[in-house]
Amino acid sequence: MTMTWMELLILLAIAGGCGFLGQAITGFSRGGCLVSVALGFIGALVGAWIAGLMGLPELFAVDIGGQRFPIIWAIIGSALVVMVIGLLTGKPHA
C-alpha cells in the first residue's frame, strides 16, 4: 500500500487540525504546527484504543490513501493527551 505525497500532506493537515482542536478544548498549548500534527496522530492512537476497550464504534473517519483516520477519536484522544501533559508540567508562567 503506497501513499502519494498529496495524500500524505492531506493526512498531516487533518492530524494537525485534530491536534489543534484537542489543544483548544483543553485550553493548554505548547508548541506549534508540528506539535499539533504529533498530537493528532497520538490522539488517534489513544482515542481508537480507548474506543476499542469500551466497545464504541468509529464515529467519523476519513480514508486517505487506503489509511483510515478516526477524526472524532483523534480529537478526543489528543484532548486527553494534552490534559495529561498539562497536569504533569503545569501552566507556563508569563
71-88: average pLDDT:
92
The answer to the question of residue 80 being in a domain is: yes
Determine the Cα–Cα distance for residues 26 and 24; give it in Å rounded to an integer: 5
The answer to the question of residue 36 being in a domain is: yes
Contact (Cβ atoms closer than 8 angstroms) between residue 11 and residue 69: yes
| Residue-level pLDDT at 92 | 60
The answer to the question of residue 90 being in a domain is: no
The answer to the question of residue 5 being in a domain is: no
Number of domains observed in the structure of the chain = 1
Q: Which three cell numbers stand for residue 32?
A: 506549534
Containing structural domain, residue 39: 30-56+68-85
The answer to the question of residue 35 being in a domain is: yes
What number of CA atoms fall less than 13 Å from residue 59's CA on the CB side?
11
Q: What is the pTM of this model?
A: 0.86
13-57 residue pLDDT tens: 999 999 999 999 988 887 888 889 999 999 999 999 999 999 999
